[in-house]
Structure 1
Amino acid sequence: MAQDTAPQAPPTAPATPARALLPLILPAVLVGAGASLLYLLVSGVAERLQGVLWETLPDALGIGRYSVPWMLVMLTATGVAVGLVVWKAPGHAGPDPATLGLDAPVLPPVVLPGLLVATMLMLAGGPSLGPENPIIAVNVALAFWLGRRLVPRVPGPVWPALAEAATIGALFGTPVAAALVFSEALAGRPLRGALWDNLFAPLAAGAVGALTTGLVAHPSFDLGLPPVGNHPGWGDLAAALVIASLAALSGMCAVYAFPYVHNAFRRLRHPMLALPSGGIVLGLLGALGGHLTLFKGLAQVAELARSPEGWSAGQYARMTVVKLAALLVSASCGFRGGRVFPSVFVGCAFGLTAHALVPGVQPAVGVAAGVLGMLLAVTRQGWVSLFTAAVLVESPPALALLCVASLPAWLLVTGRPQMQLRDDGTPIR
């Protein structure tokens, strides 16, 4: 009797029953709201402190708010202040930030106060890093330690997933970002149940985090640039392809330099040497690039976008190079912060440089493509890069251009070193 030799399809994982997913809704809601409120609290305190340091204090002293002397003083003082926290706080404000990405380890609770203080000082003082990595780390630790004690029935690994999704949703103002990040993280892993079963609880946490942020703070990522139009032309496609690829190559220059710059600061062997030294370098970079190259970059991106014609190609290019160098130094010398938000500024300035050089390049196309390429190089997160670039211009026709432009840019960065290091200082691939 002949046997059927056709290949058999792999068995499909059984779907998770609803009764197993329903108990996760309440933990997801609590973690989502808590993660968002903590993010808003940290951001609010940092913004108030920034106003004191960069407005109230220089005005009282009769010094220009963003004069070169004041930038040097403030960036150096920020390095000293954060260095003291890293040196003296229990747990030294967490592990070396150069070794961390968006997927945070579960830190001991004793580390969290120092990490929060170091983050708020950094955000207020002007280094070119965002709040994403430390806020995710704090929320992951709090969710894990409180969740295991208050709701022991929920498996331990669920809590970090909820906290990461909730914080990403709060940071970007939408749960779509969290769903995209988790779908990318789940790729290649054996799944227990369907994909949406695995995304159910994180998506709920991300949605609550995003809604809480939206109701309290009303954030918007739309830069208000002139729309691309319903029918982008071949010139727009060519511009997106070239700009995204060149931005990715520019970002890879910083990625390749990252371990060397990090090693140079690590040779100083003490946070009270490395961080003040980094602050001095950042002050000099701020003097070269201007005040728009300070801080995490989102408010500064909005200022650039309000007047795309307000700076020359040379000025945009200088801001691009200075901000990328400031990101490199800030991430290498020990400041606690993430690399996503300042990369958005670098990509935006890169795209506006292209627009200033070639007026036929639409500002929205230049900005979106520049941000896409830069984020692909720095984060190696395809979905986050594409999503962030798309929401900045809020133009559905631009999304098709970005999808095509992401392909050559991804080929330029995939398989190469990442802007994240192992504990021994070697880059992760």
Structure 2
Amino acid sequence: MLLSIPAILIGVLSALTLRLLEAIADQLQGVLWTSLPASLGITPDAPWWIFGVLTATGIAVGVVVWLAPGHAGPDSATTELAATALPLSVLPGLAVVLILSLAGGVSLGPENPIIAINVSLAIALVARISRAVPAPLIGALAISATIGALFGTPVAAALVFTGLVGEFKMGGSLWDKLFLPLVAAGAGSVTTFLLGGGFGSEEPFAPYGSPQAFDLLLGSVIACAAAAFALIAVFLFPLVHRAFHALRHPLLYISAGGVVLGLLGVVGGPITLFKGLDQSAELLADPGDYPPAQLVIILLVKLAALVVAASAGFRGGRIFPAVFLGVTAGLLGSALLPGLAPSLAVACGVLGVVIAIARDGWVALFVAVAMVGDVTVLPVLCIVVLPAWLAVTWARPMLITTDDLAKERPPAALPWDRPRSAR
């Protein structure tokens, strides 16, 4: 009962931090993509404007990563959702590059950086009040709270830590150990919704209804095909990461990433920019406006943009663009397999892509349900997740490991690699 108090506090503060950074990013996005082009008499979807904004965003992020204390935290390509605490001096730079990336149209979500920020702030705050609460538990509560605030799935946020909570020296059943992360995630989710945020389709599909046996087959086909498509990004990830980081200096490789993202944005158009949540709602609002051929182009461009953004040193998460890819894959599957209910097709597409990129079945299941706003698809998804999981479990995760980093280091150091005193 006593620990429920800091759990609720951490949940509320984590959601407030998320909403604050997103609000600042939204204001800057409005300037870059609405106010500024309007004042110049330019259409914001003009190819050269898309290219210019993304290139400038890459340069700006590169400067901050180069000069900010702690270089704006670790490369997001090397981190998962379960972040560790960072020094407080690193957080301003990390917040700035997150805001720039979200506003500039980079194909990454806020999850990895905001989780790292909230974990660091929660541990520092609670440590000033009381040292009775262990730091690992505080970090787990902050992670769970932020996931709940991001995806609106407090149950999934708690279940993500079924392995982690076993390490806590707390008596009782698994429910007892999951109770505090669930409280923190619930507080984060409720705070987000009270502040006008949320996750999922604004125009839910018609309820799927009773499961049909043939839908299990069609749903499995879509989920496995979506997962197989996402594995292309997984296998290209270390190769593209190595290519960008061969430039060695963050200003160079992040700026180069901005240029490539600008070119991809010119090809794919505005629908392929940003983290993908609003763009998913745009797709779902009127799927008939996007024929299968156009959906294929969107899939290819967004997949390439995700790989480039995640590889080139931008700070951000990979789940939000994975959800967009899943929605697009589901709409394509619904068009090619008209016998399957659209809500189930989209949910299976989201399930397949997210499980391949995030490699977490709980998040994939609950995000898929939240995205279509239809809980009746859950029984089918609980069966479809098995072949989708088997399709990806043999592959490497979408993560740059220490072995990958060792392969990237050339034998000769460049001038900017040496300490300033040695230059």
Please list, as runs of the form range in 1=range in 2, the aligned pairs for 1:72-221 lying within 5 A after superposition.
72-183=51-162, 185-186=164-165, 192-221=171-200
What is the RMSD computed on CA atoms of the aligned residues?
1.8
Secondary structure of the residue that 1:63 maps to in structure 2? coil
Secondary structure of the residue that 2:287 maps to in structure 1? coil
CA distance in 2, matches of 1:235, 1:187: 39
Evaluate the alpha carbon distance shift between residue 232 and residue 155 of structure 1 in structure 2; reply closer, same or farther with a 3 A threshold.
Answer: closer
CA distance in 2, matches of 1:72, 1:394: 35
Corresponding residue for residue 381 of structure 1? 360
Which segment drifts farther, 45-54 or 394-403?
394-403
Which segment drifts farther, 393-402 or 235-244?
393-402
Please list, as runs of the form range in 1=range in 2, the aligned pairs for 1:242-281 lying within 5 A after superposition.
242-281=221-260
CA deviation vs aligned residue, 1:65-89 (integer Å, no higher than 9, x gap): 1110001100000000100110000
Corresponding residue for residue 15 of structure 2? 36
Matched residues, percent identical?
Answer: 50
Name which of 305, 309, 330 aligns with 1:330: 309
CA distance in 2, matches of 1:391, 1:296: 17
Name which of 355, 378, 381 aligns with 1:402: 381
CA deviation vs aligned residue, 1:301-332 (integer Å, no higher than 9, x gap): 00100111111100011101111111110000
**1:348, 1:367 within 8 Å by CA — same for their partners in 2?**
yes
Secondary structure of the residue that 1:183 maps to in structure 2? coil
**2:159, 2:178 within 8 Å by CA — same for their partners in 1?**
no
CA deviation vs aligned residue, 1:180-218 (integer Å, no higher than 9, x gap): 212254479997542122112211111111111111124
Corresponding residue for residue 393 of structure 1? 372
CA distance in 1, matches of 2:197, 2:102: 20
Residue 379 of structure 1 aligns with an amino acid whose one-letter code is: A
Evaluate the alpha carbon distance shift between residue 309 and residue 114 of structure 1 in structure 2; reply closer, same or farther with a 3 A threshold.
Answer: same
Deviation (angstroms), 1:378: 0.1
Secondary structure of the residue that 2:43 maps to in structure 1? coil
Larger radius of gyration: 1
Number of aligned positions between the proteins: 406
Deviation (angstroms), 1:270: 0.8
Corresponding residue for residue 315 of structure 1? 294
CA distance in 2, matches of 1:369, 1:147: 40
Corresponding residue for residue 357 of structure 1? 336
**1:127, 1:330 within 8 Å by CA — same for their partners in 2?**
yes
**1:309, 1:356 within 8 Å by CA — same for their partners in 2?**
no
Secondary structure of the residue that 1:168 maps to in structure 2? helix
Which segment drifts farther, 149-158 or 127-136?
149-158
Deviation (angstroms), 1:404: 1.4
**2:65, 2:93 within 8 Å by CA — same for their partners in 1?**
yes
CA distance in 2, matches of 1:85, 1:188: 37
Q: TM-score, normalised by structure 2?
A: 0.92
Deviation (angstroms), 1:259: 0.4
Corresponding residue for residue 411 of structure 2? none
Stretches of structure 1 lacking an aligned partner (at least 5 in a row): 1-21
Deviation (angstroms), 1:349: 0.5
Evaluate the alpha carbon distance shift between residue 33 and residue 229 of structure 1 in structure 2; reply closer, same or farther with a 3 A threshold.
Answer: closer
Deviation (angstroms), 1:33: 1.1
**1:174, 1:211 within 8 Å by CA — same for their partners in 2?**
no
